[in-house]
């Protein structure tokens, strides 16, 4: 093997932008590495991960639909991976497979790069799936003092609050329905998959906010259109994608590329 080997594993995997991002980081930082896409059949994920590391692979990113299985198969996990119950970053340490989750830090870094203040911020997250679970702890670590979680299915938001309330002692967590979203927030984050399916989210008139972040990217989002109509500043998820990739790169290579250097790759 000539240089450090990395990969992103998923099913499907063709759409992944990770190799392009990691090669761009490597070029900028003067590091020689190869980063490949790795397709895994649904019944072959764990074997594929094991053989990658057995062959000397340094680090692996994990994407849909394997993040929960990556979490299960690890020997050790970071705190943020344990709270997310999902792993997107794998590496070997002292013969053990370690799992981390950099998605939440990716969102935090993207928001901070926009100049939006998270310290003492009040945040509304729409959606209560895996994407929301992964960002609550990193947002609280970044200084957010209130996170309200609004979801179509209220019980899922309530469950998330129950699960995570003790993990973020300095941040208040509350659950509500989409119809009950109201009042003023510093930042509203769309973590639903509604924009991916082309469905429109309807924001009630009584909901106000300064900033809007759409986790999806590359799609027209009714959420962002409504945010713009309200005069809110807005951004979509490419920065988060770059941010999570930078955090994985930092863990593996010990150096941290600057997020704003790579936003033009979108």
- Two structure tokens written together for 215: 């986790």
Q: Is 131 in the site for ligand ATR (CB under 6 A)?
A: yes
Site string for ligand ATR, 25-64 (x = CB under 6 A): ----------------------------------------
Q: Is 227 in the site for ligand ATR (CB under 6 A)?
A: no
Q: How far is the CB of 126 from ligand ATR (least distance, A)?
A: 7
Among 47, 162, 179, 199, binds ligand ATR (CB under 6 A): 199
Among 63, 190, 192, 244, binds ligand ATR (CB under 6 A): 192
- Two structure tokens written together for 5: 């080997």
Q: Is 177 in the site for ligand ATR (CB under 6 A)?
A: no
Q: Indicate which residues carry an active-site annotation.
A: 67
Q: How far is the CB of 171 from ligand ATR (least distance, A)?
A: 20
What is the phi-psi region of residue 93: left when phi exceeds 0, alpha when psi lies from -120 to 50, beta otherwise? beta
The residue range among 34-42, 45-53, 127-135, 253-261 that interacts with ligand ATR, by the rule CB under 6 A, is 127-135
Q: How far is the CB of 5 from ligand ATR (least distance, A)?
A: 28
Q: Is 187 in the site for ligand ATR (CB under 6 A)?
A: no
Binding to ligand ATR in span 136-175, by CB under 6 A: 151-153, 156
Cβ proximity to ligand ATR: between 27 and 196 the closer is 196
**Residue number with the shortest CB distance to ligand ATR?**
129
Among 97, 118, 128, 164, binds ligand ATR (CB under 6 A): 128
Contacts of 231 (CB under 8 A, 6+ apart): none
Q: How far is the CB of 7 from ligand ATR (least distance, A)?
A: 22
- Two structure tokens written together for 102: 């950099």
Compute how many residues bind ligand ATR; rule: CB under 6 A: 15
Cβ proximity to ligand ATR: between 40 and 160 the closer is 160
CA distance linking residue 9 with residue 86, whole number of Å:
14
List contacts with ligand ATR (CB under 6 A): 127-131, 151-153, 156, 192-194, 197, 199, 201
């Amino acid at each position: 093997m000539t240089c450090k080997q990395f990969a992103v594993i998923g099913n499907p995997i063709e759409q992944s932008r990770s190799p392009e991002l990691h090669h761009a980081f490597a070029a900028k930082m003067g590091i020689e590495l190869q980063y490949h896409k790795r397709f895994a059949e649904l019944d072959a994920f764990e074997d594929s991960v094991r053989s990658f590391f057995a062959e000397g692979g340094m680090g692996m990113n994990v994407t849909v639909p394997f993040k929960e299985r990556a979490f299960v198969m690890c020997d050790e996990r970071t705190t943020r991976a344990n709270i997310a119950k999902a792993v997107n970053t794998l590496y070997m340490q002292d013969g053990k497979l370690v799992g981390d989750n950099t998605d939440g830090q990716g969102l935090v870094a993207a928001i901070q790069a926009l100049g939006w203040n998270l310290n003492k911020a009040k945040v509304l997250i729409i959606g209560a799936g895996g994407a929301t679970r992964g960002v609550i702890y990193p947002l609280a670590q970044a200084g957010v003092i209130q996170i309200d979680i609004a979801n179509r299915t209220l019980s899922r938001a309530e469950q998330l609050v129950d699960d995570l309330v003790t993990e973020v002692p300095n941040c208040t967590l509350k659950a509500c329905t989409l119809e009950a979203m109201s009042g003023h927030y510093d930042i509203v984050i769309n973590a639903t998959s509604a924009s991916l399916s082309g469905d429109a989210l309807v924001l009630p008139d009584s909901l106000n906010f300064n900033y809007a972040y759409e986790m999806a990217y590359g799609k027209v989002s009714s959420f962002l259109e409504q945010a713009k109509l309200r005069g809110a500043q807005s951004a979509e998820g490419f920065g988060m994608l770059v941010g999570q990739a930078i955090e994985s790169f930092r863990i593996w290579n010990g150096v941290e590329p600057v997020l704003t250097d790579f936003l033009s790759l979108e």
